[in-house]
Amino acid sequence: MCLPKERMKQYPKNVKIVEVGPRDGLQNESKIISTSDKVKFIELLSQSGLKEIEVTSFVHPERVPQLADGDDVVKALKPHPAIRYSALVPNLRGLERAIKSGIKRIAVFTAASEIFTKKNINMTIDESLQTFKPVVQEALKNKISVRGYVSTCFVCPYEGKIGKENVLSVASSLLELGVDEISLGDTTGAAVFLDVKETVNYVLSKIPKEKIALHFHDTYGNALANVKAGLELGITVYDSSSGGLGGCPYAPGASGNLATEDLLYMLNEMEIEAGVKIDKIAEASKFIQNIIGKRLPSKQLQKILSSAK
């Protein structure tokens, strides 16, 4: 499809997708998946053209049992020079494990709401920033780059609507610590495009758009509209998960992330280049769907799978 130039002016020409299925996707699955199946899933995703994949987390193994084998997953990955693999790290203990595994990128994670932060990482927002300070310093010393997440940027499952001032304040503090990118999360999928426009626009009054990524869950079907709002603000990095796997165990009711296949379909139709092959993502999703034994929510994935029959 060739779109009139006038219509396309307001959108970026290229975007980057950060695939979070192996971490955000699998962390919510109760059936424990073997390390070798996780590694195979990541290897299939690595054949698609993705440049960044979040593969696991180094959190307390009892808090997220599915990812307790993060150390072994990272050690078993085949190196792909064009792909950055990353993992969540909540504290120095997590960083120690990350360094031993050999991973070259980590993500620290906090939130714009106090109650969610406490339930998720057992810290206040201030304590989380204090905890991350030496984590970021040590990581950078070890040539490990660091991303920062701010969860519950629009709506918190415990506190309701979140003020845009909180989001800017936490994002700015993370940048001061030395993270190179901030991913703003709609953890429960409750935001609509007007919330995204308002909050992200406000954040962009102080933080350059090149530093911002957006992370949408699709609980109520708003994720693609939210991406469109982000594109109109010039944001070029989007997190999504293969097949729409996902959720956060500490955000009741949150469902899967925006599906990578559904995001790619929209971007392709808008002639926005992500450099990722939708059929290859669908192959990876098909593999993991068979392993977890339930139909994944991505509409494009299901279309691709039924047309291949």
Q: Could you say whether residue 147 binds ligand HMG (CB under 6 A)?
A: no
Q: Could you say whether residue 240 binds ligand HMG (CB under 6 A)?
A: no
CA distance between the termini of the chain? 26
Tell the smallest beta-carbon distance from residue 57 to Mg ion (Å). Answer: 11
Residue 122 interface partner, choices ligand HMG, Mg ion, none, CB cut-off 5-8 Å depending on type: ligand HMG
Tell the smallest beta-carbon distance from residue 185 to Mg ion (Å). Answer: 5
Measure CA 143 to chain center.
Answer: 22
Q: Could you say whether residue 128 binds ligand HMG (CB under 6 A)?
A: no
Residue 191 interface partner, choices ligand HMG, Mg ion, none, CB cut-off 5-8 Å depending on type: none
Spatial CA neighbour of 69 closest among 30, 107, 29, 97: 97
Nearby residues of 69 by Cβ (< 8 Å), 6 or more positions away: 35, 38, 56
Q: Could you say whether residue 187 binds ligand HMG (CB under 6 A)?
A: yes
Residue 154 interface partner, choices ligand HMG, Mg ion, none, CB cut-off 5-8 Å depending on type: none
Nearer CB in complex with ligand HMG: 12/246? 246
Tell the smallest beta-carbon distance from residue 291 to ligand HMG (Å). Answer: 21
Q: Which ranges of 104-250 would DSSP assign to H, the alpha helix?
A: 114-121, 125-141, 164-177, 193-203, 223-232
Residue 151 interface partner, choices Mg ion, ligand HMG, none, CB cut-off 5-8 Å depending on type: ligand HMG
The residue from 12, 25, 90, 157 that contacts ligand HMG (CB under 6 A) is 90
Residue 262 · residue 300 · CB < 8 Å = yes
Q: Phi then psi for 25, rounded to 5 degrees? A: -70, -60
Nearer CB in complex with Mg ion: 24/52? 24
Q: Which residue has the tokens 């109520």?
A: 220
Q: Could you say whether residue 24 binds ligand HMG (CB under 6 A)?
A: yes
Q: Could you say whether residue 24 binds Mg ion (CB under 5 A)?
A: yes
**Amino acid (1-letter code) at residue 86:** S
Nearer CB in complex with Mg ion: 238/283? 238
Nearer CB in complex with Mg ion: 24/283? 24
The Cα–Cα gap between 106 and 190 comes to 27
> Known catalytic residue: 248?
yes
CA dist list (Å): 271 to 138, 145, 265, 275? 41, 31, 10, 11
Q: Which ranges of the chain would DSSP assign to H, the alpha helix?
A: 5-8, 35-45, 70-76, 92-101, 114-121, 125-141, 164-177, 193-203, 223-232, 260-269, 278-292, 299-307
Residue 95 interface partner, choices ligand HMG, Mg ion, none, CB cut-off 5-8 Å depending on type: none
Torsion angle, CA of 278/279/283/289, rounded to 10 degrees? Answer: 60
- The answer to whether the Cα torsion of 265, 268, 272, 278 is positive or negative is positive
Q: Could you say whether residue 186 binds Mg ion (CB under 5 A)?
A: no
Residue 90 interface partner, choices Mg ion, ligand HMG, none, CB cut-off 5-8 Å depending on type: ligand HMG
Closest residue to ligand HMG, Cβ-based? 185
Tell the smallest beta-carbon distance from residue 294 to Mg ion (Å). Answer: 19
Tell the smallest beta-carbon distance from residue 259 to ligand HMG (Å). Answer: 15
> Which residues of the shown chain bind ligand HMG in the complex (CB under 6 A)?
24, 27, 57-61, 63-64, 88, 90-91, 93-94, 97, 109, 120-122, 149, 151, 185, 187, 215, 248, 250
> Which residues of the shown chain bind Mg ion in the complex (CB under 5 A)?
24
Catalytically annotated residues: 248
